[in-house]
Amino acid sequence: MNLKKSIKPLLTVLFFIFLHNWAFCQKASLINVSGKAEIRMEEADCIGEARKRVIDAASVDALENAFGRVIVQGTNTYIENIQTGDKVETNTQMNTIGNSMVKGEMVEIEIEKLEWIVRDKANPTGIENELWLLCEIKGKAREIASVESNFEVATLNCADDEKCKTSTFNNQDRIYFSFRSPVGGYLSIFMEDREEDIVYRLFPYSKMDGDFENAVPVQSDQEYVLFSEEHHKDYFPQLSRSMVDPIVAYTTKNQLFNRIFVVFSENEYKKPILDVNQAAGGIKTIATKKFYDWVSKNKRNSDFQVSNLDITISQ
């Protein structure tokens, strides 16, 4: 994906699968974990989606191995020990990865294996081939012990928080974000472009500096609609509307995949070292590995929370 400069900075956003995520903050020690998974490549799958699904599945496997499997029966939630099969009822807050509830979160991930294999499949008319994607990961994780603050975040296709929440976008749709937190804090938003191996910082906007250079202060209980010229003055009356960087959904393919990271903390935090991308109208960027290193180091601080947003963009 390339970001090209126009009258206003145009951010080209690739294919995501929407996940409305609550972000969790917990004070727990880190442990070493490992997991593996494999998925079959369906005809409708794109490579980016398959890669995300198998990494998420391997992460779920690693967390279940470390903290147990979450089982919901009726209105009760249990944690099942993978080794013994024992189940214990729990009221602990859960995390969600790939539509699976888990009792922990990955803080650092290292992909040890990510490879395609072809398997033979017998059927009445002869042998057919199936394409599978295998993944093995290791890293560090921590158990979810308590929730200190939850924030709500979603993607929108118009600047109306209640009417425009959606998981799907068409080519040339504007993309907005809604955000609300029970506590005040500091907010930033990043977008990973896996095809270009780069991460774009979307928020703070590219022209924001000074008190907004690292992250944008947000108030408790305030409903924000971001990337909207219409709402900008409500939140930042001292800043010109020209500060807003509009995001426009765009793809030349049927569907593509990428991921957004919404970062929030009650306390101030320092941004990573960023480069100015002149071709994208001054949008700041960072190499993917350096971004993940920055997230991992900050996640050791229990105030630092990250929520993922994935959306679908179609022609």
Assess whether 105 and 177 both reside in one domain: no
Domain boundary among 143, 175, 201: 143
Assess whether 16 and 165 both reside in one domain: yes
Q: Is the pLDDT of residue 27 over 50?
A: no
Res 8: pLDDT: 36
Q: Is the dihedral of CA 155, 157, 159, 161 positive or negative?
A: negative
Q: What is the CATH number of the domain that holds 271?
A: 2.60.40.2550
The string of pLDDT tens digits covering residues 218-256 is 999 999 999 999 999 999 998 998 889 888 887 777 776
Residue 73: pLDDT band with limits 50, 70, 90: low
**Alpha helices for 124-208 (secondary structure H):** none
Assess whether 173 and 216 both reside in one domain: yes
Q: Which residues contact 76 (CB under 8 A, 6 or more apart)?
A: 89
Q: Specify the 3-state DSSP secondary structure of 127.
A: strand
Assess whether 220 and 292 both reside in one domain: yes
CA distances from 282 to 65, 193, 213, 261 (A): 44, 17, 14, 20
Q: Is the pLDDT of residue 183 over 90?
A: yes
Assess whether 189 and 237 both reside in one domain: yes
Taking the model in full, what pTM does it have?
0.65
Res 90: pLDDT: 66
**Total number of residues shown for the chain:** 315
The string of pLDDT tens digits covering residues 86-141 is 777 665 656 677 667 788 888 888 899 999 999 887 776 767 788 899 999 999 88
Assess whether 59 and 76 both reside in one domain: yes
2, 11, 14, 17: which is closest to 227 by C-alpha? 11
- Tokens 């209640």 locate to 162
Minimum mean pLDDT range among 26-30, 177-181, 281-285, 303-307: 26-30
Q: Name the residue range of residue 109's domain.
A: 31-143
Assess whether 55 and 174 both reside in one domain: no
Assess whether 77 and 203 both reside in one domain: no
Domain boundary among 113, 143, 173: 143
Distance CA 243, CA 229 (A): 9
Q: Which residues contact 88 (CB under 8 A, 6 or more apart)?
A: 78, 79
* Mean pLDDT, rounded, for 274-279: 84
Assigned domain for 134 exists: yes
Res 76: pLDDT: 61
Dihedral of the alpha carbons of 232, 236, 238, 243, in degrees to the nearest 10: -50
Provide the CB-side half-sphere exposure for 247 (13 A, CA).
29
- Tokens 């930033």 locate to 188
Domain boundary among 124, 143, 162: 143
Res 83: pLDDT: 73
Instruction: Report the share of the chain in percent with pLDDT over 90.
Output: 29
Assess whether 195 and 132 both reside in one domain: no
Assess whether 165 and 244 both reside in one domain: yes
Assigned domain for 44 exists: yes
Bridge pairing between strands 168-170 and 312-314 = parallel
Number of domain units in the chain:
2
Provide the CB-side half-sphere exposure for 212 (13 A, CA).
17
